Amino acid sequence: MSTVGDSIDVIEPATERVIAKVPSAGMEETDRAVAKAKEAFATWRDVAAGDRATVLRRIAAAVEDQAMSLARLETRNVGKPISDALGEIGVVAATFAYYAGSPERLTGKTIPVPGGVNMTFKEPMGVVGLITPWNFPLAIASWGVAPALAAGNAVVLKPAQLTPLTAIELERIALQAGLPEGVFQVLAGPGSLVGERLVDHPDVAKIGFTGSTDVGKRISARASGTIKRVTLELGGKSANIVFADADLERAAAAAPGAVFGNAGQDCCARSRILVERTAMDRFLELLSTNVAAMRVGDPMDEATEMGPLITAQHRAKVASFLDDDTTVVARGSAPDGPGFWFAPTVVTPRSTDARVVTEEIFGPVACVMPFEDEEDAIAIANDTIYGLSGSIWTENGSKALRVARAVDAGTLSVNSNWSVRIATPYGGFKQSGIGRALGPDALDYYTELKNVYIAT
């Protein structure tokens, strides 16, 4: 991607070619979009709940109808395998369908109090600014857009400049599905202009941000200027904890997908694989075989398991983790180029301070470390500023639950890598974020709780 004058060149990571030019918004366009959203909100908030639900259902159906073309666009723009992209577009449709059930269920409570009764209402907030990353562009956008619209808000979405294409398509689909003009707008443009203006704008009631912890901190500080509501879905350094009593073959078969899925550009990538020392040799042997067998190549091929990285700059950053503090113990293959390829790589660290142990890599590099016992595993898993997700592999159910309760992370799976389910809350502890996406709880982050007292 590069910004040329007023347009963005969108690059295909697998070929390094420009595949689209998109208008790049600035401050003025942002102010205009917010003004239009504010006007649209005034009527959308009063649209009957059942009618809002119908529009969301129509968006879900249209996304499903156009799943293949949307998936192709996502694959070309991000470099992710087409089978993954199709799965993600399925998540987008399912997210709209799920939140289509919400407008009519956004109920409050009646609370008896002396001399009268209190009622609570979940009111829409107004104009919501959503700022999203490039790794799961449309899926993550839908996690904000669908509950925000369901609750009666208007939305201005700023997708990452690198990957704006499917978000632009979603705006078109929403209009065709009957969403009134101005209720949902997409503004491609730099975070330093469009993003910051949305955060500063007095008429934006809430910011839903998904991205890096560094930018999340900046947004959090800026948002204090207007006491803006903010939810933050940020980075991670999740642990994949493998006990010696686990089904090692199953754990080793799942481990590559848990960290090399989306070429490691996944906030919940289990990039620290913690293995009980007595099982280490066997686990590494199985893992190495599985990594060598990974199919890395043309993202449009249905058999491909891993595509390229997003940019040359990002590839250089990922490569910088293979420094003197690491030993490469297994490596898969990758095409030569063009394309921003990087082979899936497994390393062991030479010290616990190695960058590969402490920092989010956001690429296909897994760091394997031994632990001695349950207590040690928990201590290592929690020795990070992040707390997004993680997995625990053991055949002992009590131990699984003890460890899951003790790990400081928002989303844990036992004998599975699966983090994201539309009906359940997703988000981070510590510097992995504030608030939760998905599930019924997400609606609380797109509504204000109002309390009305009536004297009887």
Q: Kindly list the residues in this chain that would bind ligand TAP in the complex (CB under 6 A).
A: 131-136, 140, 158, 160-161, 190-192, 195-196, 199, 210-212, 215, 218-219, 233-236, 267, 360, 362, 388, 428, 433
Find the catalytic residue in 29, 74, 88, 233: 233
**Closest C-alpha to 160, from 183, 130, 124, 184:** 130
CB of 48 to ligand TAP, least distance (A): 32
Residue 302 bears catalytic tag: no
**What is the end-to-end Cα distance of the chain in Å, rounded?**
63
Tokens of 1: 């991607």
- Of 209 and 283, CB closest to ligand TAP: 209
* Closer CB to ligand TAP, 124 or 435, in the complex: 435
Q: How far is the CB of 164 from ligand TAP (least distance, A)?
A: 8
Q: Which is nearer to ligand TAP, 252 or 309 (CB)?
A: 309
Would you say 180 and 43 are in contact if contact means Cβ atoms under 8 Å apart? yes
Minimum CB separation of residue 193 from ligand TAP in Å reads 8
Residue 325 contacts residue 365 (beta carbons within 8 Å): no
| E-state strands within 181-271 | 184-186, 204-210, 229-233, 239-242
Segment 353-357 long-range contacts (CB within 8 Å, at least 24 positions apart): 353/325, 354/323, 354/325, 354/326, 355/320, 355/321, 355/323, 355/325, 356/321, 356/322, 356/323, 356/325, 356/326, 357/272
Q: Which is nearer to ligand TAP, 236 or 299 (CB)?
A: 236
* Residue placing its CB nearer to ligand TAP in the complex, 103 or 211: 211
CB of residue 155 to ligand TAP, shortest distance in Å: 15
Q: Is 88 a catalytic residue?
A: no
391's CB contacts (< 8 A; 6+ apart) are: 238, 239, 240, 241, 254, 258, 270, 412, 413, 414, 415, 416, 417
Q: Is the Cβ–Cβ distance between 14 and 78 less than 8 Å?
A: no
Least separation, in Å, of the C-beta of 314 and ligand TAP? 8
State the catalytic residue, choosing from 169, 267, 268, 276. 267
Which one, 152 or 235, has the nearer CB to ligand TAP?
235
Q: CA nearest 79: which of 188, 155, 3, 165?
A: 165
Q: Return the bridge partners of 370, or none.
A: 275
Residue 162 CB, nearest distance to ligand TAP (Å)?
Answer: 6
The residue whose Cβ lies closest to ligand TAP is 191
Supply the residues annotated as catalytic.
233, 267
